[in-house]
Each structure stands twice: as structure tokens, then as C-alpha cells.
Homo-oligomer: A and B are copies of this chain.
Amino acid sequence: MTEPLPLIPLVEPAVARLAALAPLDAAAKSALAAAVRKWRNVPARRELLIEGREIAEPLLMVKGWAARIRELADGRRQILSFLLPGDVIGLCDHERPLANSTVATITEVGVCTAPKRGISPALDEAYSLSHAFEEAYLIAQITRLGQLNAYERLADLLLELLERLEIAGLASGGTFTLPMTQEMLADALGLTPVHMNRTIQAMRRDNSIILKNRSLTIVDPDLLNRQMGRIPIHVSAMRIVPSPIAASSGHGPDER
């Protein structure tokens, strides 16, 4: 087992993530670098977007965690999806869009104005892919809530989060920082906080996860994926990869 080095990102995680979706050209890289340089800080528990309100400008998550939320009239709350560095917020392709959900920060986050479309074809493609991933995550969420039991829901979500953080270079060796409270996890997974807690305990008992402070380790992600019958969400599931041989897209020996 390798020594878990403190992650000092060589590239900005947000840029790393977009680059993993579509190879970025020089124009895209410089536009992103310029945008990211002007990032601003938003404290935890603030709303970046409010459902039904106009979207001021599309944002790019630079650091921290946020969530898309829907609140019901009676106070019930559903977390629709989580937003991580490299995710784009509020990028719509129709005129004068309104937010279809509230986006709230979970931790302190860094955001910047997302470079406009049309600067670089590669960037546009990365945005499109990012959007395709977002839809894939919504679909995964529907399937979790509709078909999986509490244990499976939690396992599936944690595996997804690990996967996404790895793409941005923010997790390795199955370990990452999980900043949400159990109550937020419960709101995401359609469970009560009490049952969420019991489910976490069950995963701990099985030695599937180690969760202490805000640090989560999935002990054996590949095994857990297999046990859950879960297929990781790849770029290669979104589009036909340009050239199967020349495309040494990343790190792992990933078949599909």
C-alpha cells in the first residue's frame, strides 16, 4: 500500500476534470486558466442559484462541494445531485434561462465565471460532455431511489462520488473528504437521518467503508462496484471515443 501523499494538485482540479472529458486545445486552456484565476470564495450554506430565478451567469466550480436541491412546500427536501470541482452550474442552451433547481454550497466553495461557449470547439465539447455526465448522474440518482435499498443506495452514491473526485484528481486510494452531514446524505438518498446512520454503521461493520471525522475510505472500490453490480460512468459510455488506439485517455487499465 502506497503512502497517502497530501494531494498537491499539479493542475487545477476543475481544469483537470474538464480536460478529462475532452482534450483541451490551447485556446480552451488559456480561457480556463484566465477564468479560474479570477475565482471567488463563497461560504458554506449559501445559495448560488435559486429555483425559478434568473441565472446571472454560468459558473464553474473550482473547489468545495455544493448540491442541487429541491424543496417541497411542506419542508421536505431532496438533494438532486452534488456539484464538485470542474462541474458547471447553470449552463443552458436556451434563451434567458431560469434555474430549475436551487444550488446551495455545502462547504466553502470557490467558483468562477465559466468561459463562454464559442471560444474553443474543444471547450464546447467539454461542456457538452459535462452536461451529458450531469444527466447520467440524474439517471443514476433515479435508479438509486427507485430500485435500491438503503445499503445499496449509500454504496452506489459513495462509489459515484469517488469516481468523480478521481477524475478531478481529488481522490486516490479510495479515500476522500466527505463534507456532508448524515442528514444531507439522508436528503440525497431519500432516507431519514436515523436510518442513514444505521446504514452507515452497517457499511462500517462490513468493513466496506471507514468513515471518521470527514474522511471516507472505500476499502475496496472495485469489489464494492462488483458486489453492487455497478458499472462506473466513463467518458466511453457517453460517446464513441475518437481513436481506440491513440486514445490513452488516462491512468487505469479500464476495459468496458
Name A's B-contacting residues (CB within 8 A). 52, 54, 70, 72-74, 76-78, 80, 92-98, 100-101, 125, 128-129, 131-132, 135-136, 138-139, 141-143, 145-147, 188-190, 229, 237-240
Contact = CB atoms under 8 A, between A and B. Distances in A.
Contacts of A101: 139
A146 B92 contact: no
Given A78-B147, A145-B146, A145-B190, A95 B239 contact: yes
Contacts of A128: 92-95
Q: How many subunits of this chain does the assembly comprise?
A: 2
A145 B146 CA distance: 6
Given A74-B229, A95-B125, A147-B76, A100 B132 contact: yes
A133 to B, nearest CB: 10
A240 B54 contact: yes
A96 B128 CA distance: 12
10 contacts: A54-B240, A70-B143, A78-B147, A80-B142, A94-B238, A97-B238, A98-B238, A100-B136, A100-B238, A141-B142
A138 B70 CA distance: 12
A167 to B, nearest CB: 17
A93 B93 CA distance: 10
B78 A146 contact: yes
Contacts of A143: 70, 72, 78, 80
A77 B238 CA distance: 21
A191 to B, nearest CB: 9
